[in-house]
A and B are shown apart, each in its own frame.
Chain A
Amino acid sequence: MHKRLAVFAVLGSLAACGNPGSAVDGPPPEAVAVDGAPSANGPAMGAQGATLKTVKARRRLVCGVNQGLIGFAYPDNRGRWRGFDVDFCRAMAAAIFGDPNAVRFQPLSSKERFTAVVSGEVDVLWRNTTWTLSRDSGNALDFAGVNYYDGQGFMVPKSLNVHSVTELNGARICVQTGTTTELTLADYFRARGLKYEPVVVETEDQARANYAKEACDALTTDVSQLAAVRSTLSNPNDHIILPEVVSKEPLGPAVRQGDSQWRDIVAWTLYATILAEELGITQANVDQMRRNSKDPETRRLLGVEGGMGAMLGLSNDWAYRIIKAEGNYGEIFQRNIGRTSPMKLERGINALWSTDKPGLMYSPPVR
């Protein structure tokens, strides 16, 4: 008899647990706030403005991030998520709720990341994802900008005396499987009639271990990761990153297709940080700038005049909240992956367009 009851119990419990995301969202680990908002179900797909409504009702942003990638997204010893992508998630939460901690991080494998966005499991994907035509057009995804311009490169030990990728004919090259990197590598060598032996690994840390123990002659991945790997090697100066960057890897946030208001919010969160850097607004001086600045664009960005936030469906001080919480683009960069961080990445093409060594970072005007 009881076995039948048990079966009902299974179904019952599965049904009861079917929608935890729809119930009240939990406190992030670091700030336990007990809230009890009414349940709001998954977003109606594709409906204009539906995502923001859902997020607001849930009182929490759900952000898809990498399971663990140096510099970009990883939990620290206390369980707090850190990293470049993670900070943009927090910036969005600050813009929407005024609280950078009103965000839940959902770690996603590379296989499931797009499914998770499309099915509404996450509101936005900040997961070092390359913007490509096939991804943008198919799969019902939209990209909302580029927060890091990356490219695929190669690293070799100096002792090999190799100065260009073309000299790597016949080499064993470590490459992560299931990525665009793998395809680009095949294309690049095939186009030049070169041979190579792929040493295929599943994760970044395995690639690092293989290269560090000389299980392959060269390592190929995005240049940002190459630099990170180099800084972890026992003697970083014994390794060089070859000059060729063989692919464009613009990494950026992705959202479900069909809700352009939500796409705008994601895009302008990014633009606000870039524009703040252009205008010299930092986390430290944002309060002072807001009070004293005479510059009209600064005043519009920080919500002193113009009512720009309302046009996005946010409050007018949205950008002020972002910068107050996370700082401008340069600060986010330096903190997580820049020269002051263990990654020690140069700004390179990710510098502002207006600096001495111009880069690609450019924000449309706020007006």
Chain B
Amino acid sequence: MGRGGFMERMGGARGLLAQGLLIFGLVVLAVWLSGNAGANIEARGISTGYGFLDREAGFDIAQNLVPYEPTDTYARVFLVGALNTILVASMGIVTATVIGLIAGVMRVSRNYLGRLVATTYVEIARNTPLPVQILVWYNIALLLPPPRSALGADGVAFLTNRGVYLPQLWLNGLADVAVWGSVAFILAAFFVSARLRRLRTEHGKGASPHWGWAVAGVGVLLAFLGTGNPIGIDVPHREGFGFSGGFTMSPALMALWIALSFYTGSFIAEIVRGGLTAVAKGQGEAARAIGLSEGQTLRLVILPQAMRVIVPPLASQYLNLTKNSSLAVIIGYPDLVAVFAGTSLNQTGQAIETLSLVMLFYLACSLSVSLFMNWYNAQSAVWATPR
């Protein structure tokens, strides 16, 4: 748009009028709604404001990644729920990508049965509602053997209908310092090597981008040695009513994770297939002609080119998966919606406040993914230029 005057930018008299009306309408609507809400809330004696965040919650949460007691506040409940959402979403994103990649490649494979299996999977998974899929997987998770006849062995892992018990990294003392120090080093390395790479591609000089990573490796090593290596491994073993030690993955988490992975995986498979077919046929033929094997052709020639078509829609699938993890509420996995828009809402009765906080969280997620995607697209434009 040109620099023009105010009137011009606002689209002249007609544009100004239209937009004025829109703003006026919105303001009137907002005033009317808040007036009603104010009257209703007063009539019903519902307390308002975010003061409840400092109050004691009083209920337990089945899975907490950070320490949590019933005596903690509602603000802490929000944190625990949000972390649980992030946990299942990130697990789902990883597995959905793997499943989608495999199924997508299988859908264009030369093996008929491979195609058949992949097609069957995709058409079933994406054409049935996710809530139903979650309920089905939950039922299946409960069909695993009870703890008495658990699959697995002391000191390794157990598979039961009470969940999967896995060995867990065990942290103490200065672990926080070591972990955050490492994270800082890795992040720094990421940016440094990106910068180095850009310098190289733009000016054809400068150090190798791998130097960034070498420095990070040394840094991580120092962080752990410097804090006395505060990491051990905790393994599950039988004790009392069931098992203790290690990390427990509840049946609800398993069911949700598997359902989200397979559901989103089917959409990713279609994206991958689209990306693969978009790579000109000649590319594959040429690669085979110079003697590359089927696997090498895929890995070295087809996939790198297909990635540029695949990645942008992939991001919106990741976002969908994160939003869909809110369906946790139907099987009682304590995600943000379940603990905050569920139990906390029931306890406090403050529907507007709890729901708006939950919505803000998801909005923040989608905003950060969009920002990341913009950054990635800019990067891939750089990578795509010939070196």
Q: Is the CB of A111 within 8 A of B345?
A: yes
- List the one stretch of B58-66, B172-180, B190-198, B314-322 in contact with chain A: B58-66
Q: Is A40 part of the contact surface with B, judged by Cβ < 8 Å? A: no
A residues 86-142 with Cβ under 8 Å of B? 110-111, 114-115, 118, 137-140
Whether the pair A202, B329 counts as a contact (CB closer than 8 A) is yes
Q: B349–A215 contact, CB under 8 A? A: no
In the complex, the chain B residue whose C-beta lies closest to that of A170 is B240
Residues of chain A from 147 to 186 with CB closer than 8 A to chain B in the complex: 160, 170-172, 177-179, 182-183, 185-186
Q: Given the complex of chains A and B, what is the CA–CA distance between A148 and B345 in angstroms? A: 26
B45: CB under 8 A from chain A?
yes
From B345, which residue of chain A is reached at the shortest CB distance? Answer: A111
A209, B333: Cα distance in complex, Å:
16
Answer whether A172 and B162 are a contact pair too, CB < 8 Å, given A140-B44, A213-B142, A215-B146.
Answer: yes
Instruction: Tell me which residues across on chain B come within 8 A of A177, comparing CB atoms.
Output: 332, 334, 338, 342-343
CA distance A171 to B239 in the complex (A): 11
Are A215 and B334 interface neighbours, CB within 8 A?
no
Asked if A242 is at the interface of the complex by the 8 Å CB criterion, the answer is no
**Cβ distance B360 to chain A, nearest Cβ, rounded Å:** 20
Asked if A217 and B45 make an inter-chain contact with CB atoms under 8 angstroms apart, the answer reads no
Answer whether residue A339 sits at the interface, using C-beta atoms and an 8 A cutoff. no
Indicate if the CB atoms of A199 and B346 lie closer than 8 Å: no
Q: Which residue from chain B places its CB closest to the CB of A258 in the assembled complex? A: B43
CB 8 Å contact bits of B121-163 with A (1 = contact, 0 = none) = 0000000000000000011001100111000000000000110
**Do B46 and A138 touch across chains, with their CB atoms under 8 A apart?**
yes
CA–CA, A197 and B241, complex, Å: 11
A64 to chain B, nearest CB (A): 16
The chain A residue sitting closest to B141, CB to CB, is A215
Tell me if A45 is interfacial: C-beta within 8 Å of chain B: yes
Does residue B311 face the partner (Cβ distance < 8 Å to A)? no
Contacting A at CB under 8 A, from B67-92, are 70-71
Question: Given A139-B45, A183-B59, A216-B162: A209 and B241 within 8 A (CB)?
Answer: no
User: Is B146 touching A140 in the complex (CB atoms < 8 A)?
Assistant: no
Number of interface residues of A (CB under 8 A): 38
- How would residues 184 to 221 of chain A score, 1 for a CB under 8 Å from any chain B CB and 0 otherwise? 01110010000001111110001001100111110000
The answer to whether A215 and B251 have CB atoms under 8 Å apart is yes
Chain B residue at minimum C-beta to C-beta distance from A179: B346
B146 touches A183 (CB 8 A): no
Contact present for B161 and A214 (CB under 8 Å): yes
| Distance, CA A171 to CA B162, complexed state (A) | 12
Classify chain B: how many residues form its interface, as a range.
35 or more
Q: How far is the CA of A187 from the CA of B252 in the complex (A)?
A: 24
Q: Does B30 contact A (CB under 8 A)?
A: no
Contact check, B44 vs A185: say whether CB atoms are below 8 A apart.
Answer: no
Within 8 A of A (CB), among B30-52: 43-46
Known: A186-B60, A200-B334. A138 touches B242 (CB 8 A): no
B331 within 8 A of A: yes
B7 contacts chain A at the CB level, 8 A cutoff: no
Give how many A-B residue pairs fall within 8 Å (CB-CB): 99
Q: Is the CB of A201 within 8 A of B332?
A: yes
- The answer for the CA separation of A190 and B59 in the assembled complex, in Å, is 10
Is B330 an interface residue when CB atoms closer than 8 A count as contact?
yes
By the criterion CB–CB under 8 Å, are A201 and B342 in contact? no
Inside 8 A of A185's CB, which chain B residues have their CB?
60
State the CA gap A45–B70 with chains docked (Å).
37
From B59, B252, B331, give the contact of A182 (CB < 8 A).
Answer: B59
Which A residues between 235 and 249 are near B, CB-CB below 8 angstroms? none
Rounded to whole angstroms, the CA-CA distance of A302 and B70 in the bound complex is 52
Contacting residue for B45 out of A46, A138, A179, A200, CB 8 A: A138
User: Within the complex, which residue of A183, A200, A202 is in contact with B58, where a contact is CB–CB below 8 Å?
Assistant: A183
Q: Which of A139, A190, A215 touches B46 (beta carbons < 8 Å)?
A: A139
B62 touches A198 (CB 8 A): yes
| A186 and B58 within 8 A (CB) | yes
| Distance, CA A185 to CA B138, complexed state (A) | 24
**Set B43, B329, B345: member contacting A140, Cβ < 8 A:** B43
| Of listed B44, B142, B349, residue having the most chain A CB within 10 A | B44
CA separation between A110 and B232, bound complex, in Å?
45
Q: Residues of A contacting B347 with CB < 8 Å?
A: 183
Q: Please name the residue on chain A nearest to B43 by beta carbon.
A: A140
Chain B, Cβ-Cβ closest to A134: B349
- Asked whether, in the complex, the Cβ of A178 is within 8 Å of the Cβ of B60, the reply is no
Tell me the complex Cα distance, A26–B61, Å: 44
Residue of A46, A179, A217 near B241 (CB, 8 A) is A217
Residues of B near A182 (CB, < 8 A) are 59-60, 343
Contact B142 A197 (CB under 8 A): no
Q: Which residues of B contact A160 (CB under 8 A)?
A: 241
Q: What is the distance, in angstroms, from B330's C-beta to the closest C-beta of chain A?
A: 6
Q: Does B250 lie at the interface of the complex (its beta carbon under 8 Å from any beta carbon of A)?
A: yes
B contact residues around A187 at 8 Å (CB) = 58, 70
Is B44 within 8 A of A215, CB to CB? no
* Bound: A202/B343 CA distance, A: 11
Instruction: From B44, B162, B329, give the contact of A118 (CB < 8 A).
Output: B44
5 A-B residue pairs with CB within 8 Å: A111-B346, A172-B242, A198-B60, A200-B252, A202-B332
Other 10 A-B pairs with CB < 8 A, given A140-B43, A177-B338: A111-B345, A115-B351, A139-B45, A139-B349, A140-B45, A172-B162, A177-B334, A182-B59, A197-B62, A215-B161
Q: Which B residues fall within an 8 A CB radius of A?
A: 43-46, 58-62, 70-71, 138-139, 142-143, 146-148, 161-162, 240-242, 250-252, 329-334, 338, 342-343, 345-347, 349, 351
